Structure 1
Amino acid sequence: MTGTALTTEIEAALSQAARFPRLRYMGSKYKLAPQLAAVFADLGTGGTFLDAFSGSGFVGYLAKALGYQVTSNDYMNYGRVIASAAIASDGHCLPDELIARIAGPARDDRDFVQTTFDGVFFDRADRAFIDSAWSHIEYLDGFDRDLALAALILSAARKQPRGVFTISGDLSRYDDGRRDLRIPLQQHFIEHALRWNQTSIRSGREHLALQGDAMTLDRTEYDVVYLDPPYAPPSDDADYTKRYHFLEGLSDYWSGGLGEIMQNTKTKKIPKRHSLFANKRTAEVALRTMFEKFAGSSALVVSYSSNSVPGADWMLRELGAVKPRVDVVEVPHTYHFGTHGLATRRQATEYIFVARD
């Protein structure tokens, strides 16, 4: 492929990826899209692609827009739901009549969310809508179910100030005037269901969305394996369960109302799902295991941050142990903590390590 053709392909993929519905998500790679697209295109589009830590689903979606056949995996079920809606559905859309039905009167009188999260998240009408929507979603299956859930998950994330569920109760101090904080969840759902439909890409290839620990993935060889593990910071944590437990519960209605909720916690959390990658004492072993597991793949692409341990020198050395050529793209980045004017900001460097044969 000529340089001009490659540039055109990257520009088209970035234009498509710009349609992706954005969550305010810890570790998201939206701002790195141009650099990632250039790396993936350089490695040769059209092959097989594994996104082992799919998170918001954006990188897998970008790879699909570049022509890859994508397998997405995440250890959180809501991550699987989003990847199914955005990638695996492959052109499937939620019918207008089904959107209207889910947004309409409830099918039954369930009130799990209304009672469990009273005074915790959302007002009475929004909590009632979640119960009502699930009264319909429960009877769906396949991509209809995942597309509806993806719209509901995005709605809850957008309505919650800062997009995280570590804060609850009276959140008026976080009101920065955004429309997302003011419209009801029912309206959010209708709009986001239509947005997922507009995001849909038909490729005619089979794409997969999996849920599970990346450490247990099959030792399959791919053309490109993309690893964006939870970063192990020197301090604080990278606990996705703590920040997004409501979205995880929402993805399966808290296991049909039977899932474990930590009732003694202010935000009604679910038990933490530990990750070896997010702990500085176990991150090295976990990363080395992944590098060795997929050493037979044509290329390993790893996103990482200078805020994390182990450091860049360790990553270069370990990737060099499984691949003869390792390049690194460095991108200056500013992390934002909070959304108010006095929010803390931390400068860091985002690394994209590219290890290939």
Structure 2
Amino acid sequence: MKWQVVALSGQDIHLVGPDGGGEAVLAGHLFADPGFTVVGADAPQAAPQWGLFETAPAAAREKALAWQRHVREVECGLPGGPGSEGTVREQYDPERHTLAEREQAKAEELTALGFGRVSRTTVQRMRLAYRKQGLWGLLDHRTTRASSPTGRADERVVAAVREALRRRRGRSKGTINGLFPLINQILEDRHGPGTVPAPSQAALYRLVTALARPGELPAGPVRQVPASVDGRAFTPATALRPGEQVQIDTTRLDVLALFDDGRLARPELTIAVDVATRAILTAVLCPSATKAVDAALLLAEMAVPHPARPTWPDILRMDHAPRTPPPAAGRTR
């Protein structure tokens, strides 16, 4: 059913129905209704998380892409999205059916196609996930969970192994077997004798190998290691919007270039890449090692690109201006 907004009064929205009757509802109540949508409005799309999406298994990615077409058809009537080619099927026509009716029709269609028993609530959940997270929200995240390095080991034993490694940090480290008495002593001190079942030596060996930081294994050299959480120094970057995170990297090119001073050397390329879209924002080519002034130039290029500069129209006119060829040299006999 279609309603027309005729007046706004504070948090109250006054509507007129197709039969001419009027209603007044709170804005928050109206926006929270799952069947609410603006007729003719484009559905907001989240920035694609291509970096994270590509880490999922191929089968999970294919299923997410299939869900994308179904979600788009529920939203606007066309599997390719607003403005795409194709014919709107009757059961997904926004002019004839409400959003709730289109979700129910899609649930019945997917069940018939072999997606399992799909309910309208499932279609609604996938549609909202796609709005918030794009393709990343349509993935089955059971396939993207990182496996734990400790497996199904007892958390009390894991904590004791970490404590034993912490106490040995910075000291001369002997052998891995030398850690086992200390681990058992920590378990008895924390939980009492016989409370935690004694793990086998093979299990303790696997835990020590998995939890030790670089340089902490007894077989390795004694050196100071950087502090990190659970031995992990890096976490995957997640960006939901363009410009939220930008990574800058420098690489020396495998080509030889002739510079203005006559030197023949390999130049360095410094680029700034947007994490969310993987778009190259700008790049600077340096004849030698990249310096602080080159990094500053990179930021300036990113903040004010050439098309946004006041002199850009003049540069375009100069590039497209007709060039008069030089006069031909006269013949000499």
TM-score above 0.5 = no
If you compute each CA radius of gyration, which structure gives the higher value, 1 or 2? 2
| Higher helix proportion (structure 1 or 2) | 1
Q: TM-score, normalised by structure 1?
A: 0.20
**Higher relative contact order, chain-length normalized (CA < 8 Å, sep 6+):** 1
Q: TM-score, normalised by structure 2?
A: 0.21
